[in-house]
Amino acid sequence: MIATVTLNPSLDLTLTVDRLVVDDVIRMRGMRKDPGGKGINVSRVVNTLGGATIAYGFIGGHEGGALSVLLAEEGILTSFVAIDGDTRINVIVSERESGTQTRINAEGPRVKVEDLDKLRERLWKMGGVYCAARFMVFAGSIPPGLPRTTYRDLIEDAQERGIKAVLDADGDALKQGVKAKPFMVKPNTYELERLVGRELKGAGENEVIQAAKEVHELGVEVVAVTRGKGRAVLVTNNKIYMGTPPTIRLVNSVGSGDSFIAAFLLALLHGEGFEEAFRWGLAAGAATAMTPGTELLRVEDFNRLLHEAVVEEV
Catalytic residue numbers, as ranges: 258
Q: Residue 10's closest CA among 84, 109, 77, 76?
A: 109
Query: Could you give the CA distance from residue 107 to residue 143 in angstroms, rounded to a whole number?
Result: 7
Report how far apart the first and last C-alpha atoms of the chain are (Å, whole number).
Answer: 31
Query: What 8-state DSSP symbol labels residue 79?
Result: E
Q: Residue 42's closest CA among 252, 227, 313, 281?
A: 281
Sign of CA dihedral 42, 44, 48, 54: positive
What is the four-CA torsion angle of 264, 270, 273, 274, rounded to 10 degrees?
A: 10
Which alpha helices (H) appear in 61-168, and where do they start and end?
Answer: 61-73, 113-120, 150-160
Give phi and psi for 86, each to the nearest 5.
Answer: -90, 135
Sign of CA dihedral 95, 299, 75, 159: negative
